[in-house]
């Protein structure tokens, strides 16, 4: 996990951020905050999954307490972007993830206990795809109807966070199919296609070429969260819960993704398509679900940026 902190600036209140998860979304949040923030300090700490060692907990909480003591008026935001589950996860996997979240919630309550409620916040990264799988043209009033343990587990996590007022302000994020590239992180569809092409391997599709999904570029999620973190103190409010969908509101088929990747690389992908796909349902969202200030990157641009990042890493590896 990563602890980020910064002092007061002309445009932002002082803050200490505990970021759990450094995968595609967590990595994007950390990267954007450090790039656009002023005087941001980042420190990494060990945190075992799903149950951290007591010494790890003490080290993190001591670091936060010391930083708060040295920064008058600073708030604390805890971000949960550490989910390891996926569409294929079973009940045991989701139970383990819930345990991991509980330990993070306990730390969030302890480090925020001495602060006014408007100086405490918790950001929970959920999953629009898991909650609304198979539902199309979803709006703000559409009720989630999970079809798998993954979706049920994510919904239970959301309910747990909403119910805990000691966390202060709660922001629940529901990103749709996230794509992009972070070294060491799980690869989504776009990164998997690009990597397969670069390494001259087959790309496997566990769906249908006509399957429609709503893809969102990971750095867009990072920018949205960073904007919320790097805001003036007078933007803080008391106890509240906000749920935000982070999507493109422009569904695309897997076939369209294939063509975009091929166009970026100048080569034809070799595909293997699962004859009995378990992940072929369409899922899409209306433009009306997008929160104010969220600006999704065009799919063509996001795919090109993802491909460029992977190609540069590949070339550097070949050169070394």
The answer to whether 149 touches 90, Cβ cutoff 8 Å, is yes
Crossing angle for the helix pair 91-112 and 149-162, to the nearest 10 degrees = 20
Mean pLDDT (whole number) for 269-291: 88
Mean per-residue pLDDT of the chain? 93
What is the per-residue pLDDT across 19-75, written as a single tens digit (0 to 9) for each? 999 999 999 999 999 999 999 999 999 999 999 999 999 999 999 999 999 998 999
Per domain, the residue ranges of the chain are 2-181+216-250+290-297
Q: How many CA atoms lie within 13 A of 141 on its CB side?
A: 0
Residue with tokens 């936060």: 64
Residue with tokens 């979706």: 151
Distance of CA 276 to the CA centre of its chain: 29
* Superfamily of 2-181+216-250+290-297 according to CATH: NAD(P)-binding Rossmann-like Domain (3.40.50.720)
The answer to whether 165 touches 153, Cβ cutoff 8 Å, is no
pLDDT-derived band at 245, boundaries 50, 70, 90: very high
Mean pLDDT (whole number) for 222-238: 84
* Residue-wise DSSP of 224-243: HHHHHHS--GGG--SS-EEE
CA dihedral 83, 84, 85, 88 (to 10 degrees): 160
Q: So what's the pLDDT on residue 320?
A: 46
Give the predicted TM-score (pTM) of the model. 0.93
């Amino acid at each position: 996990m990563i602890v980020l902190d910064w002092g007061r600036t002309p445009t932002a209140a002082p803050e200490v951020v505990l970021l759990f998860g450094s995968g595609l979304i967590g990595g994007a949040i950390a990267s954007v905050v450090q790039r656009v923030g002023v005087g941001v300090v980042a420190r990494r700490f060990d945190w075992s999954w799903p149950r951290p060692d007591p010494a790890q907990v003490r080290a993190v909480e001591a670091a936060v307490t010391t930083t708060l003591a040295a920064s008058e008026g600073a708030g604390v935001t805890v971000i949960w972007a550490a989910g390891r589950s996926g569409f294929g996860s079973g009940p045991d996997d989701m139970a383990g993830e819930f345990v991991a979240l509980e330990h993070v919630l306990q730390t969030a309550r302890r480090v925020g206990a001495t602060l006014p409620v408007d100086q405490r916040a918790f950001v929970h990264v959920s999953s629009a795809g898991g909650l609304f799988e198979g539902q199309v043209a979803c709006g703000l009033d559409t009720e989630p109807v999970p079809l798998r343990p993954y979706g049920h587990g994510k919904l239970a996590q959301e309910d747990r966070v909403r119910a805990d007022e000691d966390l202060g302000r709660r922001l629940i994020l529901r990103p749709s199919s996230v794509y992009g590239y972070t070294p060491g992180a799980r690869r989504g569809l776009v990164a998997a296609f690009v990597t397969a092409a670069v390494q001259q391997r087959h790309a496997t599709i566990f769906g249908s070429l006509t399957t429609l999904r709503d893809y969102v570029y990971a750095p867009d999620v990072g920018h949205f969260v960073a904007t919320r973190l790097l805001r003036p103190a007078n933007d803080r409010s008391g106890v509240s819960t906000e749920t935000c969908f982070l999507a493109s509101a422009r569904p695309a088929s897997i076939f369209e993704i294939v063509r975009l990747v091929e166009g970026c690389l100048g080569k034809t992908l070799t595909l293997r398509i699962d004859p009995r796909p378990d992940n072929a349902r369409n899922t899409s969202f209306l433009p009306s679900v997008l929160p104010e200030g969220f600006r999704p990157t065009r799919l063509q641009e996001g795919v090109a940026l993802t491909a460029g990042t992977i190609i540069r890493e590949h070339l550097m590896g070949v050169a070394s």
